[in-house]
Every structure is written in structure tokens, then in C-alpha cells.
Amino acid sequence: MLSQIVSALIVMVVGVFAAAAYFYLTNRVLDLALPDKGDVVTASRNLRRRAMIRPWLFLGPAILLLTIYLIYPVIATLILSFYGRDAQEFVGFSNYLWAVNDAGFRQSIFNNILWLAVVPAACTFFGLVIAVMTDRLAWGNFAKSLVFMPMAISFVGASVIWKFIYDYRGEGQIQIGILNAIVQYFGGQPEVWLAIPFWNNFFLMIILIWIQTGFAMVILSAALRGIPEETIEAAVIDGASGWQIFWKIMVPQIWGTIATVWTTITILVLKVFDIVLTMTNGQWNTEVLANLMFGWMFQGGGDSGRSAAIAVVLMLAVTPIMIWNIRRANEEMKGR
């Protein structure tokens, strides 16, 4: 066991050294191969060439890794989605046709839309409310830190935590899950919460909301602090009420940040996988695309065609946000 950690540390050191050596050596070689000595014409030509080549030395490893691990697979997955289960024969759109007619896929689409409608909105709303409320408290930072804490917990860890909350013991037994204990205390019937179709989706969503609200809160809190005092003072002088100040002065000024938070959580929701896998594995009508895709990757020897088709659907859902992000980043970079 210990040897395993030691080898990991050695790899880390070797990896860092190898990367450092790569950058150092390639830069040296470039300087030696194209010396800036000799007659003026050659020297200046060499200098120009160096300036052309050097960026690519710096970028080389990153571009290589991104190509192998992200760009190539995206294209390959797109192609695989038009092939059969073993990627041997071309099947046209039949994987997509299968998906459209498959009950599991439809259920996943429905659930994904449900998640998209609820989770980003809930996180942003709670995040904003908590950010505003904690801002004027003496212990506000402490409170924020505790709400932010679930960010550090893995989805699987969070699933265990919440499964304990939803725990169900047979009728007449003492309930050790706090939700059923509360229900029982008020005279209700304990339920197997995760097995109630449709509503169980919300019990899963709560987990993600619990994790992500802290993220929304931190970012919105920073944006709120950036609002110029004068705009609020002016509104007060003009006789605006509290709600008017909040909705007409504060919210519009942080609109860009709200959009960022919203889209970031949207992307996360589309990819949600761990929570569904560990809580229900898609049973009781809780399936989502990412888990469905994972299932088709392995079950019954795996079906790469169907699995790839589901991944492509996910990719298509992400694409509008991707384009919006790129546009926004480009505009920002022009200012630099």
C-alpha cells in the first residue's frame, strides 16, 4: 500500500521533471538551431523564425493532450453513433431512431428537462437569497462557509448522506431516516421516498441543489458587492421601495453573473450521473441521459452505437451554451 503512494509521488516528481525537461530542452534546441549570431540578415531571419516556432513548443503538450482526449473522441463518438453495437457495420440513423422510440430514452429526456427546469433555478434563487441575507450579518462569512461546504463533497458521498435521510424501515419500526421520522412524528405514514415515481426525481434533485447552492451564493455574493453604492443611493432619494431596489436596481446590475451561474449549473445538470447511479440506478422512472449512456456502454457487452448516440444528444444540448460562452469570451478578450 505504502509502495503505491511512493510510486505515485515518484511519478509526480518524474512527470513534473519530464515536463520541465521537455520545455527546457526544446527551447534550448531552438536557440541553438537558429542562432541570433552571424550577419545581420541571417540573425534577424533566425530571430523571426524562433518567434514563430516558440509558441508551438509552449503549446505542444497541451494541444497534443486536448487532441487525443477531447477533440478526436468527439469526432469519433459522432461517427460511432452511426455504426452498430460493435462499431462494425454502418447503420445510418437507426441508433437515433431506436432512441426516439425507446421508453427508457424518452423517460431520460423527460427527467433531464425536469432537472434543467428545477435545479439551476433553485440553486440561483437560494444562492441569491442567502447571499443577500448573509451580507449584513456579523457571522455572515461563517454561515456562507457552511452553506458552501457541500461543494467539497463528492456526488457519491452526498448520495450516501441523503440516502440516510430518506432511509425507510418497515411500518411500526423506529425510523432512523430523519425524513420518515419527522413524517411519523406528525402522524404520517413512512414512505420509501426513492420509489415514488415522478416525485422521486425531486428527492434526487435536492442533493444537487444542496451541493450547488453554495457555488451560486459565492459568485452572486461577489457580484452584489460590486454594485456601485451610488445607484442604490440615487434610487433611495427617488423614493424607491425596498423591493423596487432589489428587483429594479440590484438584480439588473448582476444579470450577467446570474446568467453565468445559471449556465454553469445547467451544464452540470446535463452531465449528472453519479447521483442517479448511486441512489436509484435509474429505477422507478429516475433515469437520466448520462446514466443511460453509461448503462449502454457496458450492459450486455456494451452497445457503442446506442451509447454514442445518447452522448451526441447530450453534446447537442450543451452546444448552445458552448457557443454563447465562446462569444462572450471573445468579446472579453478584445478588451485586453
Residues of span 46-105 touching other proteins by CB under 8 A: 51-52, 54-56, 58-59, 61-63, 65-66, 68-74, 76-77, 80, 87
Identity at 116, one-letter amino acid code? L
Out of 33, 100, 113, 137, name the contact with other proteins by CB under 8 A.
137
Q: How far apart are CA 269 and CA 183, in angstroms?
A: 29
User: What one-character DSSP code corresponds to residue 192?
Assistant: -
Instruction: Kindly tell me which of 107 and 231 has the beta carbon lying closer to other proteins.
Output: 231
- Could you say which residues in the range 265-284 bind other proteins, by CB under 8 A? 267, 270-271, 273-274, 277-278
Site for other proteins in 245-264 (CB under 8 A): 245-246, 250, 256-257, 260-261, 264
Nearest Cα residue to 214 out of 269, 147, 142, 267: 147
Q: How far apart are CA 105 and CA 99, in angstroms?
A: 6
Closest separation between CB of residue 320 and other proteins, Å?
A: 10
Q: Cβ closer to other proteins: 33 or 59?
A: 59
195 part of the interface to other proteins, by CB under 8 A: no
CA atoms of 155 and 212, how far apart (whole Å): 11
Min CB(314)–other proteins separation in Å: 5
The CA radius of gyration of the chain, in Å to the nearest whole number, is: 27
Binding residue count for other proteins, defined by CB under 8 A: 132
Q: Which stretch binds other proteins (CB under 8 A): 37-45, 114-122, 138-146, 191-199?
A: 138-146
- Cα–Cα distance between 143 and 150 in angstroms, integer? 13
- Toward other proteins, which CB reaches closer, 198 or 282? 282
Distance CA 158, CA 16 (A): 33
Binding mask 155-194 for other proteins (x = CB under 8 A): xxxxxxxxxxx-x------xxxxx--x-------------
Residue 224 neighbours by CB under 8 Å, 6+ apart: 131, 132, 135, 250, 254
Q: Which is nearer to other proteins, 258 or 285 (CB)?
A: 258
State yes or no: residue 234 binds other proteins (CB under 8 A).
no
- Distance linking the first and last C-alpha atoms of the chain: 50
Cα 309–chain centre separation: 21
The pattern of x and - marking residues 306 through 325 that bind other proteins according to CB under 8 A reads -xx-xxx-xx--x--xxx-x
